[in-house]
Structure 1
Amino acid sequence: MTLILIGLGSGGCSLSRPDAYARTDAADVTGALGKRPASPQVPTESDLAFARTAASDVLTRGNKDSSQPWENPETGARGSVTPLSQAYSAEDGRTCRDFLASYVNGRSESWLQGAACKAGHGRWEIHTIKPWTRG
């Protein structure tokens, strides 16, 4: 009886591929309904600091149809910031502008939307930056 249990326990479950235990990412996991989408990653405060600096730089230059790349060497996250519209006057009288920023970290890609207003010495201060929602 012991030999039968040992035979059943080791037979039929053997793996022939040497990489059978290779690490998989969450995006590679499959379920009964197929591949699950990767969950969007939330930018770290450090990543957001680099995106804010890029947004301020591209808005300060004021070039039409320009983008500013950014990268955080600590986390490997990267992206670019692109102004969306012409400057407008906010309720408090300041000159403001909206922008869209890409956020790429590993295999995950998402978008952030933000608004900045002109501060002293012609620099732009970021007032909002949050996940982009279509609509």
Structure 2
Amino acid sequence: MTLILIGVGSGGCSLSRPDAAFAKIDDNEVTGSLGTAPARAPAPTESDLAFARNAASDVLTKGDKDSSQPWENPETGARGSVTPLAEAYSAEDGRTCRDFLASYVNGRAERWLQGAACKSSHGRWEIHTLKPWKQG
């Protein structure tokens, strides 16, 4: 009986192929396996911000812990949700205030907004700031 051993060395072997042997992809082609980062959403319109402010006021009025309020602007197709952050705090002028985070989605693009609201003398939450979220 003849025993034949075929071995592959572990060092120093390399193959040389012409460039045509490898598949190429153009810069404008995208594969689904790796995905891409979400596109940056355009700045919200005033009407988008009005819907987000109303959602913020609603969710803060409910006062539920760990709750979110969705919103959508049927005119622009923009949508998102508003989520209160942390607990309410007392502002320098004695009013009760609370911070929140709002998502803004327009098509496949998204961005985040941060805001603050304080209770008015009538008990309704008034939005004082709503601006792009700056991640630390």
Moved over 6 A (4+): none
Task: Give the corresponding residue for 1:20.
Answer: none
Give 1:37 deviation, angstroms.
6.9
Considering only aligned residues, what root-mean-square deviation do their CA atoms show, in Å? 1.8
SS at match of 2:87: coil
1:120 aligns with 2:125: no
* Alpha-carbon distance, 1:127 to partner: 0.1
Answer yes or no: is the 8 Å Cα contact 1:103–1:112 preserved in 2: yes
Alignment partner of 1:103 is 2:104: yes
Answer yes or no: is the 8 Å Cα contact 2:68–2:83 preserved in 1: yes
How far the C-alpha of 1:122 sits from its partner, in A, is 1.5
**Alpha-carbon deviation of 1:30?**
3.7
TM-score w.r.t. length of structure 1 = 0.72
Decide which structure has greater helix share. Answer: 1
CA distance in 2, matches of 1:76, 1:92: 38
Structure 1: tracts of 5 or more residues without a match: 1-28
Determine the structure 1 residue equivalent to 2:47: 46
Report the count of equivalent residues.
Answer: 104
The structure whose Rg is larger is: 2
Residues 91-120 of structure 1, C-alpha deviations (whole Å, 9 max, x = no match): 111110000000000011110000000013
Q: Which runs of 5+ in 2 are unaligned?
A: 1-26, 30-35
The 5-angstrom pairing of residues 65-80 of structure 1 reads 65-80=66-81
Please report the TM-score for the alignment, with normalisation by the length of structure 2. Answer: 0.71
| Cα distance, 1:85 vs structure 2 | 1.1
